[in-house]
Each structure stands twice: as C-alpha cells, then as structure tokens.
Amino acid sequence: MNPLNQHFSTPYNTAPFSKIITNNYLPAFKEAISKAKIEIDNIVNNKANPSFENTIVALDFSGQELDRLSSIFFNLNSAETNDEIQKIAQDVSPLLSEFSNDIALNEDLFNRVKAVYNLKDTLKLTAEQSTLLDKNYKSFSRNGANLPEGKKELLRKIDKELSQLKLQFGENILAETNAFEMLLTNENQLSGLPEGAKEAAKQLAESKEKEGWLITLDYPSYIPFMTYADNRDLRQKLSLAFGSKSFKNDALDNQNIVIKIANLRYDRAVLLGYKTHSHFVLEERMAKTPNNVEKFLNNLLEKAKPAAHREFENLENFAKEFDGLDRLQKWDSAYYSEKLKQKLFSLDDELLKPYFKLENVIDGAFTVANKLFGLNFEEINNIDTYHKDVLTYKVIDEHGELVSIFYADFFPRAGKRNGAWMTSFKSQYVKDGLNERPHVSIVCNFTKPTKSKPSLLTFNEVTTLFHEFGHALHGMLANTTFPSLSGTSVYWDFVELPSQIFENWCYEKEALEMFAKHYETDEIIPMDLIEKIKASATFHEGMQTLRQISFGLLDMSWHGQDPSGITNVKAHEVDAFNSTTLYPDVPENCMSTTFAHIFQGGYSSGYYSYKWAEVLDADAFEYFKEAGIFNKSVALKFKDHVLSKGGTENPMTLYKRFRGQEPKPEALLKRAGLIK
C-alpha cells in the first residue's frame, strides 16, 4: 500500500513532505484513481432510488484521497519542482483528465444526478444544498454528458491534449526564466541600484561560484534593476530577455502551444453547444456574457484612457527634461516613473523599505486579521515542509479552537515559478459531524535576507503579501458542509474580492502604525511618509488601469471569438492591444507566450475579474471606512456573509447581504482618482 494514499499520522493530518519519495507519486495517483472509480461505481450501482444523500452528497465526497494527493503534488510542481516532478506531471495530467471525463461522461451517473435534479422543487433543500445540486447537474451538462458517444470521445481527446499543453506552456517559461543570467563584473554597471539590491546580486553570484553581480529574471532581481539601474542599455537587454521568454522559435517556444490551446478550447466549447470558449466560461460567472465583459472593460477604458495619456505625456516630458530622452521605451517605464514619483512625492521604495521588514509585515497581516476576525497565529515547528524556507503556523479563534494550518513560502528559487499565489493542501468540510479544518498556503517571491540586511519589502511587495493573505483568509475561515463549495471555490470574478479588499489596510495610518517599524531603530513609520503613501496611491493609476484592461482585452481576443484564423501570435496581440497602447511596440517581445494566468492557470476569459473585483472591493471598503476600518460589526458581516460562505450561494446575494446593496463602480473610479 502506498504511504501517500493513507490518512497521514502527522500533527493535524498535515502532508508528510519529508517522507514522500518522488517515485511514489505515479503509483499513488493510479491507486487513488482506482479507489475513486470504485466510489463512483458504488453510487451508480446503488439499488436505492437516487436521492440527494446517496447521489449528490456521495459524489461530492468521492475521490477525496485523489484530491488531497493532487493538491500536494501540483502545489510542489509550482513551488518546488524539478525534472523528475515535471516528468511525473506530464504522465499524471492525462490520467486525471481521463478520470475527470470518465465521471463527466458517465451516462448512468448523470441519469441519477438528473433524477435528483428533476425532484429539486420537492426536496426542501437548504441554500447550500440547492447550490450543490445545481453545480453538479451543470457540471455534467456543461462537460458533455448530453453528447452522443462519438462526440464524447472527441471531448476526451481535446481535454487530454489541453492538460498536457498547459503543463508544457508553464515548463517552458520556467526553463526560460532559469536559463537567463546577466553577470556584471564592473561595479559602474550597477550605478543607481540600491545597496540592498547590489548586495543581493553579489550574494547570488557567490552562490553560483561566480565573480561579480548576477541579475536574473526572478522578480526580486529583475524589478529593482529595471526600476533603479541608470545603464539604459542593460535595462534594455534585461527587458528584452524578460519579454521574449518562450518567443524565440526554439525548443522552449510557446507560440504554437498558445494557438493550439486557444483552438482546442474553442472546439471544446462549440462541441458543447456554445458560441465560443468565453460564452462557455462566463455562463458561470457574475459577468454572464462576453458582451458584458467587453462593455465593462470598454467603459473603464473610456474613463482611464484620457488620464493614462496625460500621465504618459507627463512622464515623457519628464524623461526629456531629466535625460534629454526623445522617446520612452518599455525599459524606461519603471525607471523614469520612480524618478518622477520621487520628485512629486519625495518618496521612493528605498525610503520605505526599512519600515517593511518581512517579519513585521507578516505580523501586521496577522494583527489586522486578529482585530477584524479574532484570529491568533502561532508559529509551530512540528509540521513537515517541502523546503526549509517555508514557515508554518497554527491558527486559532478567540475560543482556542483550531481554524486552520497556514504555510508561508516567501523567497524565489530555481524550482519555483515567478509571481505570488494562494493555494491549499487540504479543504474544509463537515463530515460525520466533524468540521475538518483547512490547510492553506501562500507562495511569493520576495527579496531574500542578505548578510547585512533582513528581507525588506518594497511597498508593492507589502500589498502583494496582504493580497495573498486575503485569499488565505477566504480559505481559512471557510465554514461550509461540502468540499466543492468551500473557501475560494466561488465564481472566478468574485474570488479576488477578499484578496483585493485586504490590500486597503496597507494604506491606512491606523493599520500601518501597528507594523511599519524601522528594522534598526524600531521607530514607527513617520506620519509624513504615511501621507505620502496615501498621496502617491493614485500615481499613474490611469496607466496602471489601462495595462490591466489591455490584459483583459487580450484574454477576450483569444477566447471570445473563433481563433482558427489566427496564424501569427504577435500580430494578433498587437491588434488586441491597439486601443490601449502607450509605448512603442518591441518586435522581439510577446505577452501571450508568457501569459500563464490565461494559458496555464484558471483565468481564461477571466482576467477582467481583477478589475471587476476592484469595483466590489472599493465599494466594500467604503463600508469599512464609514464605520471604522476595524469595526467589529462590519468585519463580522464580511466574515459571515463573504469569507465563510465560499460558493454556497450566488455571490451577488452574499455581497448584498453584507453590504445591503449592489456595488457602485463610483467608489473605484473615485479611489483611482479617475473621477472627482
């Protein structure tokens, strides 16, 4: 019997990472799939008439061992991968895709689900039970249960190919990121770079037994160089390397993969009776239709574009005065924006970073969660982790009851993809009267401590930590019966509300004074710096909004139409960006070939949801501000109606229960400085 396929005899039933032998994964998956199939057969062959309990509930709790194993394995494939794990992922993904289709296309199982669904009005279900029944029925009908046999086989083929292409897409980007190194041997080449960034580059070179300073495409190395390095040629070199990942017509190129993924998704949607992939996806979103998404993005574009063009013109004029530059290029953006911000607000990240020691920011997030929701975080060392940098915490409520186990993984390394995300190793649910508590994790890529300094965060990294921690709270505070409706299992354009609202506390004096303390003197961040943070919050907001809209429009251009006529990825992208372009195009660069959110993650036809959720979060935070940002009563409503409820009801119903009304977009436009 494979040790991966048993209830773990570990503290809190946590994943036994150090005991896992990589070779065990494939047999463990095969065994877990086999067990899950038996559970499905038991539902299908039940002699009793189909009921909510023996069909819908049984189905939701089937395959739990497989779910747990998948969450452990695929989280490692993102945060601590290697060639062996990537090879197993390529072998396992088609098996999981096949199994998923075995369920979705199981006619006898669907007939039982349909029989219960047809009795819906007579069953006296709770709101959560009713949602689960709807979700189950739709998951069959939306995934081919009503197709004739020949088309079911075609669907299986498409899904199998998609699962492998998405993995390959991500592996190519990671390989490209790891392959690039810029070794600088003359200290003059680092002119403008803060001491901390120089020290980190020196340390990185030493770790690879090289002389000089090493710059890579990992965010903590890439972003400071692009923001502060005076050497424009080197910024250009780094920018071109970053922007041309998987766009070089070589073995790691993603252009054909992008075209194949887009076409397969379209074919799949048409097979299921939908006009496009976006029509399929958005049916189960708050936005409902591609037309609504495009209307939403274009309305925002109309408001943001004049501001963005004004900001760009000001930046270009500033660069001309500052350096005699005739035309701003993409590799100039962060550099001159930072210089202009310093001029306008006497504020830069180097001034702020001493007040944002990583450990203090973590404590700050914990303190805010304590004041709002009564949570206490205790660091514990008796839990296994997959890497020595991972921190582990026990989260308890005001009554000393276990709420969650929390993992935090903050620093970049070779086996870890760029960016930041929240995930979970174990879901919350209620079974046999026991409320199983979740195991939640956040993964980031922040600057590592150096020999002389602790990890000091930029303000952007502070908001990133709070953002992911907001997602984590959504997972931790889950309190639903069924695993498939728990935590972040919500409509995709609702999932960013808890994360984005939590960022707001980073801008508030009352919150900042609790954790923004100088790492050497313990001095609380001065009031004038807090004022500058608030004043600079809308700096280049028009350009930032335009950038987010451009990504949303690019996503919809791939998925909201028949992509079969697209033969040139770059030309298609240039066309999609046409209404949002500020900088001259860089022929060597391509966004689509590294747009992991939509081609590897779950954001296809969903990238708009970041801006959509900003409307919700700005409106929701207005409510907090009216009552006081630590008001217990408002926090309790947010916890009871949003954070704990997962996907148990329609998100707008939950939101209105919290807020008392539908969200108003004016709050976002006002906060962004786009309207008065």
Catalytic positions, written as ranges: 468
- Distance (Å, whole) CA 229 – CA 319: 15
Q: Which residues contact 256 (CB under 8 A, 6 or more apart)?
A: none
Q: Which residues contact 648 (CB under 8 A, 6 or more apart)?
A: 127, 128, 131, 480, 485
CA dihedral 632, 636, 642, 648 (to 10 degrees): 180
Structure token digits, residue 534? 């608030």
DSSP 400: S
Residue type, 392: T
Q: Which residues of 363-381 are buried (b: 16+ CB within 10 A; e: fewer)?
A: ebbbbbbebbbbbebeeee
- Distance (Å, whole) CA 613 – CA 211: 47
> Are 407 and 392 in contact, with CB atoms under 8 Å apart?
yes
- Distance (Å, whole) CA 314 – CA 320: 10
To which H or E segment does residue 425 belong?
strand 421-426
Structure token digits, residue 482? 């069924």
Structure token digits, residue 272? 């299921």
Chain centroid to CA 87: how far? 24
DSSP 327: S
DSSP 464: H
Structure token digits, residue 45? 């062959």
- Distance (Å, whole) CA 498 – CA 502: 6
> Are 559 and 604 in contact, with CB atoms under 8 Å apart?
yes
**Beta strands of 327-409 (E only): which ranges?**
376-379, 391-396, 402-409
Strand 421-426 and strand 376-379: the pairing is: unpaired
> Are 385 and 393 in contact, with CB atoms under 8 Å apart?
no
Rg (alpha carbons) of the chain, rounded to whole number: 25
Closest to 101 measured CA to CA, from 146, 144, 37: 144
Provide the edge-to-edge strand list for the sheet that holds 421-426. 376-379, 391-396, 402-409, 439-443, 421-426
Structure token digits, residue 23? 């070779």
Quickly list H helices, 189-323. 195-207, 219-228, 232-243, 255-271, 277-282, 290-323
Closest to 428 measured CA to CA, from 139, 74, 64: 64
Structure token digits, residue 462? 């502070």
Closest to 430 measured CA to CA, from 473, 376, 483, 391: 483
To which H or E segment does residue 531 belong?
helix 527-535
To which H or E segment does residue 182 belong?
strand 182-184
- Distance (Å, whole) CA 215 – CA 184: 8
